[in-house]
Structure 1
Amino acid sequence: MGATTVWMSPETKKRLKEMKRHPRETYEDVILRLIDTAEDPEPLSDEAIRGIEESRKDIRAGRLLPLDEARAELRAAWRTEDPE
């Protein structure tokens, strides 16, 4: 396996060192663990992305309901449901 030198500030090196789980863990292990944490193994579906885009459009258009109003509407709906 080849090696590569990575230049970083002393502060970055200090932070990486603080992230070690044990003293003998290598910086490569720490970096790989961080990469694994950052990568999403289950990317969003097209449907989820469309839903997010629609929600963002609603927000920009001001189609929002304050939390207290949403709660009141839900409580009223729950009270009027037929318990079958």
Structure 2
Amino acid sequence: MVFTFTLNYQLTSDESDMDSLVERLAEEGCDYALVGVGQPGRLTLEFVREAASAHDAIEGAIEDVRRALPNARLIEAALAP
């Protein structure tokens, strides 16, 4: 199945170079995520992923982001209706 969801993160003060963040995310398999950086210090990623379950899709994305941005703190994960 295909699932659409968003992940919202709080960034640390040393993670301010958005071009670098996007490159690191792409290297970890998040190159197709829609990236939102409208609020300073925050990062929102919208994913469309195929997986056996919504849980698997979201957990996989969280792990990918964790590898790319180990200091970012997950604030919210929301499955699209």
Report TM bin, short chain.
under 0.3
Q: Which protein is bigger by CA-based radius of gyration?
A: 1
TM-score by length of 2: 0.24
- Greater relative contact order (Cα < 8 A, sep 6+): 2
Instruction: Give the structure with the larger helix fraction.
Output: 1
Instruction: Give the structure with the larger strand fraction.
Output: 2
